[in-house]
A and B are shown apart, each in its own frame.
Chain A
Amino acid sequence: METSIRNTLCNIALLAVLAVVLYVFEKHGTEYQIRILNNMAIFITLAVSYNLVNGFCGILHLGPNAFITIGAYTSALLTMSPAEKQLSFIIEPLIWPLSVIQVPFAVSLIAAGVTATVFAFLISFPVFRVRGDYLAIVTLGFGEVIRVLCNAMQSLTNGPLGLKGLTPYTTLWWSWGVAVFTVVVITKLVNSSYGRAMKAIREDETAAKAMGVDPYRHLLLAFLISAFFSGVAGGLLAHLITTISPTLFTFFLTFNLLIIIVVGGLGSTSGAVIAAALFAWGGEALRVVESPMNLGFVTLPGIPGMRMVLFSIILMVVILFARRGIMGRSELSWNRVFAALRLQTKA
């Protein structure tokens, strides 16, 4: 059988399995399980799109939380009904066009992505004038500026009060649909000539330039696409937790994403997917260390904050001793799976 046909069939089979799993959980899963699955999908979307910039282009961008915030607010403001908005904005009324608009969830998600992309384009001018550590700080600073603006611009964001009572539109189908779409788009992009140019820039920007690759154009493309998906994921997140406020999307969120892509392997989409799923599940599983533990003869007190210590230690251990992470820069592909299977049968 031709390998490309085989791979397509396998992909379809994988999607079918995913759909069955989601269907089963939607019908019979507990609320807790569904929440973890939703988180998993959103983290996959965020990590895969973040990895496009950090892993494939090799620049340290520290501001995805800004784009997530922008996406969350955009989509939340668009799906709330005018009546709800009037109730929420008690200190200062919402500015005019937004106060009367209400659109379906799907439209609001696209709007969230587009708005995030527009902001990414605006910030790209100072961002791509610099590289390395400077770029990290500028993007980090942008995240802080967005947070300050969210607190200050009462007539647009309702300030520190945030937006409450959003309709929980985000179902498993929405979150996983977006996640699958993101993975497909990013994989296609990375395997295209654009993706090869991005990797060339990561390896040596001067050499890439000498080969006729325009770094600015390719980095910008990656940055904008990443911002688009971060924005969409922000919209999903807003309608999952149904309450958003400026304190929700701090640098902390970026830090979590950074852990995910470093553990997964910088520059590996499948690594980002695996690590994001592990993170969403592990983050819940590790809650044990923060609650009191009864070992029968002795009760260990829970230690609040211990999870973050563990996460920080994991990040440092991976970066110091196992810099490749789970996947390094390789991908989990059907070709590799079948090659591994063939070796198994021969042996």
Chain B
Amino acid sequence: MTATNFMQQIINGISLGSLYALVAIGYTMVYGILRLINFAHGDLLMVAAYAAIYAVSLLSLPWQISFPLVMVLTGLFGILLDRVAYKPLRDAPRISLLISAIGASFLLENLAIVLIGGVPKGFPRPEAFARVIDLWGLRIQVLTVYTPVLTLVLLMGLLYIVHRTKVGKAMRAASKDFETTRLMGINLDRIIAVTFFLGSSLAAAGGIMWAMKYPQVNPFMGVIPGLKAFIAAVLGGIGNIVGAVVGGFVLGLGEILIVALFPQMAQYRDAFAFTVLILVLLFRPTGIMGEPITDKT
């Protein structure tokens, strides 16, 4: 493999990894507070992608307005999801919460099939993202460059909220000790709503970028990215936002490079992430940046 080719693959890997990272943040934030894998989180990608299609094609809004709008709407949708599927089960056994999450995920997918149809829709990719630029001899679509930049910008914003604002302080407190936080007079329902809002908007950003990268939107488009993003979150150390981003990049790079270096492994690509997951759980269950797991029951 030539050096140029290799660089190209690295950039592709970073771009894919940043998509995983965007989605992984949402998993890790919700898990940090509720200790719940939000199975329906991946489906928010699909919701956001369809919302963006309708905003651009039906309402004919320019993308500069419609994409942020879709992020806000998906964020609100995330709050709704929590209110309907998870809030009534706060004190129920964990297995019920997980089953509810799986049910919500299937409901979203199948509702999309019934309401929109299973035929993939094209995504109206704005011209601004489709341009191809020449970067030191590499021909790269600008989208590939924008994705990691956007991820880092959103990550900075999120870290600011989590570490420098009062809401963020409450979120961190809730993830350390749910009960004590409640005793301190903090309105946990509001904190959980904010968490779902932030995580879901980031998933929406991921969903829009994903739909621009692979412009085929269908009701099941969120399943595999969702699972892989979850693995990225575990790999980085679940509950840790920076860890989720690191995990996303590692997973994205790993997936692209393994196919680039061993082309005969291409058909095993989807199994790579799960193999990584199994290895991580076997040898370092706390992930790259995770703290040791303490029993919180």
Contacts and interface: CB of A to CB of B under 8 A. Distances in A.
Nearest to B94: A132
Contacts of A303: 114
A312 B231 CA distance: 25
Interface string B95-118: 110111011101100110110001
A286 B236 CA distance: 44
Contacts of B231: 137, 141
Nearest to A320: B88
Contact of B113 (A145, A308, A320): A308
A130 interface: yes
A283 to B, nearest CB: 14
Given A129-B281, A308-B106, A60 B98 contact: yes
Contact of A141 (B95, B104, B110, B277): B277
Contacts of B277: 137-138, 141
A126 B281 contact: yes
B88 to A, nearest CB: 5
Interface residues on A, range: 35 or more
Contacts of A140: 227
A145 B275 CA distance: 8
Interface stretch (B127-135, B202-210, B266-274): B266-274
B281 A133 contact: no
A293 interface: no
B114 A130 contact: no
Q: Which of A136, A258, A266 has the most CB of B within 10 A?
A: A136
Q: Which of A137, A149, A315, A323 has the most CB of B within 10 A?
A: A137
Given A134-B281, A138-B281, A304-B113, A148 B99 contact: no
Interface string B69-110: 000000000000000010011001111101110111011001
Q: Which of B102, B104, B231, B281 has the most CB of A within 10 A?
A: B102
Contacts of B114: 303-306, 309
Contact of B103 (A129, A136, A312): A312
Contacts of B118: 304-305
A319 B99 contact: yes
Contact of A319 (B103, B227, B278): B103
Interface in A120-152: 125-126, 129-130, 132-134, 136-138, 140-142, 144-145, 148-149, 151-152
Interface in B244-290: 267-268, 270-271, 273-275, 277-278, 281-282, 285
A262 interface: yes
Given A308-B106, A308-B110, A144 B98 contact: no
A141 B98 CA distance: 16
Nearest to B107: A312
Contact of B95 (A58, A144, A315): A58
A159 B84 CA distance: 41
A316 interface: yes
Interface residues of B, number: 41
Nearest to B282: A126
B99 A262 contact: yes
A133 B37 contact: yes
Contacts of A130: 281, 285
B36 interface: yes
B230 interface: yes
Contacts of B267: 148, 151-152
Contacts of B113: 304-305, 308
A151 B266 CA distance: 12
Nearest to B113: A305
A255 interface: yes
Contact of B285 (A62, A129, A311): A129
Contacts of B111: 309
Given A258-B99, A309-B111, A129 B37 contact: no
A133 B36 contact: yes
25 contacts: A60-B95, A60-B99, A126-B282, A129-B281, A130-B281, A132-B98, A133-B98, A134-B234, A137-B231, A138-B281, A141-B227, A141-B278, A144-B270, A145-B275, A148-B267, A148-B268, A148-B270, A151-B267, A258-B99, A304-B113, A305-B118, A309-B114, A315-B102, A315-B103, A320-B89
Given A129-B282, A137-B231, A148-B268, 20 more contacts: A58-B95, A60-B95, A60-B98, A60-B99, A125-B282, A130-B281, A136-B98, A137-B37, A138-B277, A141-B227, A141-B273, A141-B274, A142-B274, A304-B113, A305-B114, A312-B106, A312-B110, A315-B99, A316-B103, A319-B100
The 10 closest A-B pairs by CB, nearest first: A141-B274, A312-B107, A305-B113, A308-B110, A315-B103, A148-B271, A316-B103, A133-B37, A312-B106, A152-B267
Interface of A: 54, 58-60, 62, 125-126, 129-130, 132-134, 136-138, 140-142, 144-145, 148-149, 151-152, 255, 258, 262, 266, 303-306, 308-309, 311-313, 315-316, 319-320, 323
Interface of B: 31, 35-37, 85, 88-89, 92-96, 98-100, 102-104, 106-107, 110-111, 113-114, 118, 227, 230-231, 234, 267-268, 270-271, 273-275, 277-278, 281-282, 285
